[in-house]
């Protein structure tokens, strides 16, 4: 019997799979504090939620007004975290955490991890139109996008002390928190929200004015890309807004500057409580101005420390727990496991293709071969590579007319090669630098209501414009090479020839193969989300799990934008090869060329922000979302080159990269139209 020998691609796939599983278990272990915190995920209609709440109330005899409307159609998703100290006989304070725009409940990782392990019950919802919650639930929850329902549910839980209900948010989530407070804290209410911590999204704190018996904390990021524009948050403590917030609680305040971290009650300033103790009052306010950006409100050890210390000050250390300093944090370890999973997710595009090309055709089924042979199942995909010499495939490859096939790559040392090269790539690198923000602004005017993902629209238009410009520069490169070789009898290869396929059948096969690769890539995402409540992500950048309802929008609305960009990028990637530069070197160059414009934009924008208190180009979402463009530039360079070398055509890499980037974009942003939730 022939001994089976495991091939390199299969070994790589096994290692990647093990690392992804390790990331899932590690993330789950850390966020639940070694599984001492019980995590429960819910996704149900508002009618079903009301039924469950009534069952809770009948069992525990609590008296809670259910303030949201019933609905039998639309789903509401949320997760509860209950530590061991919280029981029916020993109820604990509860904190409801509302994520921001373009996020999901997983973005409250630092809050639910650190608060739950300190003995607080935590409830984190997917707000309307985010994560797994339908956009329509906002109309049934008093304009709170689901926060009212989350707070109401927490009040019915056995493990929750209804006299100690707090809320915290981030950005738009803060607005939802204040809407919930106004809906719940009405005269005669049986249960009230008694504390609100408002980080990064300071305008929400203004609407808390007039609220009685509320402990309020505000943390305006000094370098918040939004607040700096509206409120000069880099000088927040000495500005008028901070004084207004304090005066809402302490009317006699007459200082020009608010002291950072100072607690004010209606009677005046009070001393901060000692570690783990509560203020012992029902109404107070304190303001901080930490050196963080907008995203840092939920992805920063500084912001997390403030959150922990605020709820300690509001409610003290939960009974049955010992005080744990706000600097003792573990959420970042869980985030590191998420990043590990994200890196493995990207690498699957390579390992899966390598493994699929190991599958042989055999008479009695399928088997794995230790090396690629001519009888592989996906043999038709590599037809192009076998039809001509691989060494011919370089931008503008130049050969004497008497030679039927080139024998080597062009030399970058020749001025006839590096001059067209510079003429091509210098404009390509500079173009995104000047068009990113204008395209973002133009998208708000040009896209119809059918394209209901605002931030995706900005990036989609930008990638389309860059793709079209890249086609232009490919043509310029071709003409420049022709001119350089006009008198030496050298034939210049058409750079668009890399897109040639033998016919529609082969192109269709390549597309189906790419769909298979992407579908297999998302299998671990499904396992991670369903089994461990995990997204592979780095801060706001996530390889989210798409819902099947979004497939029409992904394929027919947004994919065409990325296809235009990816075709041109794949042509440049396949052709940028010279005999003096190793394969990894030219791949690295493409990655750097893709990254450089965005790195320059980020450097200028944020260095100006930290020095002047205002972003250089624009404020808000465009500045924040540009960070999400960094990882894809590396991904498309590495994966595009590998799949080109593997298949001999640019289309496999084009389809795989375009599909992945489109899915990631659509699942990371807010869905604000009913077509997304058919």
Interval 276-323: pLDDT, tens: 999 999 999 999 999 999 988 889 999 999 999 999 999 999 999 999
Domain with CATH 3.40.50.1820 in the chain: 34-329
Residue with tokens 């339908």: 134
**Looking at domain 34-329, which of 3.90.550.10, 3.40.50.300, 3.40.190.10, 3.40.50.1820 is its CATH number?**
3.40.50.1820
Is the per-residue pLDDT at 405 higher than 70? no
The reported pLDDT for the residue numbered 669 is 57
The reported pLDDT for the residue numbered 576 is 87
Residue 557 DSSP code: I
- Give the span between the Cα atoms of 635 and 625, in whole angstroms: 17
Q: How confident is the model at residue 390 (pLDDT cuts 50, 70, 90)?
A: very low
The reported pLDDT for the residue numbered 360 is 64
Mean per-residue pLDDT, 528-546: 88
Tell me which residue of 546, 558, 519, 575 sits closest to 658, measured CA to CA.
Answer: 558
257-266 long-range contacts, CB within 8 A, separation 24+? 258/287, 260/287, 260/288, 260/289, 261/286, 261/287, 261/288, 262/286, 262/287, 263/313
Q: Does residue 493 contact residue 638 with C-beta atoms inside 8 Å?
A: no
The reported pLDDT for the residue numbered 675 is 28
The half-sphere exposure of 309 on its side-chain side, counting CA atoms within 13 A, is 23
pTM: 0.89
* Higher per-residue confidence, 600 vs 451: 600
Q: Which residues does 593 contact at the CB level (< 8 Å), separation at least 6?
A: 425, 428, 429
Q: How confident is the model at residue 647 (pLDDT cuts 50, 70, 90)?
A: confident
Q: Does residue 412 contact residue 580 with C-beta atoms inside 8 Å?
A: yes
Mean per-residue pLDDT, 611-617: 87
The reported pLDDT for the residue numbered 406 is 41
Is the per-residue pLDDT at 273 higher than 90? yes
- Give the span between the Cα atoms of 181 and 184, in whole angstroms: 5
Tell me which residue of 483, 90, 474 sits closest to 318, measured CA to CA.
Answer: 90
Is the per-residue pLDDT at 366 higher than 80? no
Mean per-residue pLDDT, 556-583: 91
């Amino acid at each position: 019997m022939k001994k089976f020998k495991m091939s390199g691609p299969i070994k790589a796939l096994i290692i990647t799979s093990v690392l992804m599983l390790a990331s899932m278990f590690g993330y789950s272990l850390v966020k639940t504090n070694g599984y001492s915190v019980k995590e429960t995920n819910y996704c149900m209609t508002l009618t079903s939620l009301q039924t469950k709440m009534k069952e809770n109330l009948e069992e525990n005899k609590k008296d809670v007004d259910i303030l949201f409307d019933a609905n039998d159609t639309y789903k509401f998703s949320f997760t509860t975290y209950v530590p061991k100290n919280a029981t029916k006989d020993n109820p604990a304070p509860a904190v409801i955490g509302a994520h921001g725009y373009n996020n999901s409940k997983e973005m409250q990782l630092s809050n639910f991890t650190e608060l739950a392990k300190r003995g607080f019950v935590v409830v984190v919802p997917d707000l309307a139109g985010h994560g797994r919650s339908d956009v329509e639930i906002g109309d049934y929850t008093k304009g709170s996008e689901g926060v009212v329902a989350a707070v109401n549910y927490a009040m019915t839980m056995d493990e929750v002390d209804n006299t100690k209900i707090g809320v915290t948010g981030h950005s738009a989530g803060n607005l939802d928190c204040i809407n919930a407070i106004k809906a719940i804290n009405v005269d005669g209410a049986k249960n009230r929200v008694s504390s609100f911590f408002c980080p990064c999204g300071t305008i929400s704190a203004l609407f808390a004015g007039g609220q009685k018996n509320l402990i309020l904390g505000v943390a305006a990021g000094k370098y918040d890309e939004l607040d700096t524009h509206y409120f000069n948050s880099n000088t927040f403590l000495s500005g008028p807004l901070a004084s207004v917030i304090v005066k809402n609680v302490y009317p006699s305040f007459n200082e020009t500057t608010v002291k950072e971290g100072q607690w004010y009650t209606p009677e005046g300033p009070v001393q901060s409580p000692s570690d783990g103790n509560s203020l012992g009052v029902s109404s107070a306010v304190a303001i901080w101005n930490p050196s963080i950006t907008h995203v840092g409100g939920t992805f920063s050890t500084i912001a997390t420390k403030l959150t922990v210390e605020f709820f300690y000050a509001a409610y003290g250390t939960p009974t049955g727990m010992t005080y744990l300093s706000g600097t003792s944090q573990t959420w970042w370890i869980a985030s590191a496991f998420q990043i590990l999973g994200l890196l493995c997710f990207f690498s699957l595009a390579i390992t899966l293709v390598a493994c699929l090309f190991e599958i042989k055709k055999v008479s009695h089924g399928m088997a794995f071969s230790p090396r690629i042979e001519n009888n592989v199942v996906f043999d038709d995909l590599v037809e192009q590579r076998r039809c001509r010499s691989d060494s011919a495939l370089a931008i503008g490859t130049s050969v004497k007319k008497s030679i039927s096939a080139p024998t080597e790559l062009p030399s970058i040392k020749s001025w006839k090669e590096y001059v067209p090269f510079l003429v091509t790539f210098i404009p390509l690198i500079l173009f995104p630098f000047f068009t990113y923000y204008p395209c973002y602004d133009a998208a708000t005017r040009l896209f119809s209501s059918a394209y209901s993902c605002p931030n995706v629209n900005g990036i989609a238009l930008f990638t389309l414009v860059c793709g079209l410009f890249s086609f232009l520069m490919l043509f310029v490169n071709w003409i420049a090479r022709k001119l350089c070789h006009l008198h030496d009898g050298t034939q210049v290869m058409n750079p668009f020839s890399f897109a040639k396929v033998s016919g529609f059948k082969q192109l269709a096969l390549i597309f189906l193969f790419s769909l298979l690769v992407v579908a297999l890539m998302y299998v671990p995402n499904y396992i991670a989300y369903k089994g461990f409540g995990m997204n592979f992500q780095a801060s706001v950048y996530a390889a989210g799990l798409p819902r099947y309802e979004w497939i029409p929008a992904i394929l027919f609305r947004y994919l065409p934008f990325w296809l235009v960009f990816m075709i041109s990028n794949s042509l440049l990637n396949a052709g940028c090869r010279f005999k003096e530069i190793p394969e990894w070197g030219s791949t690295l160059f493409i990655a750097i060329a893709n990254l450089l414009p965005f790195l320059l934009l980020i450097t200028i924008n944020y260095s100006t922000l930290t020095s002047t208190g205002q972003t250089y180009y624009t404020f808000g979402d465009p500045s924040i979302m540009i960070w999400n463009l960094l990882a894809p530039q590396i991904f498309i360079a590495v994966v595009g080159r590998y799949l080109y070398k593997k298949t001999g055509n640019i289309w496999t890499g084009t389809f795989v990269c375009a599909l992945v980037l489109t899915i990631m974009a659509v699942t990371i942003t807010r869905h604000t139209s009913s077509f997304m939730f058919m």
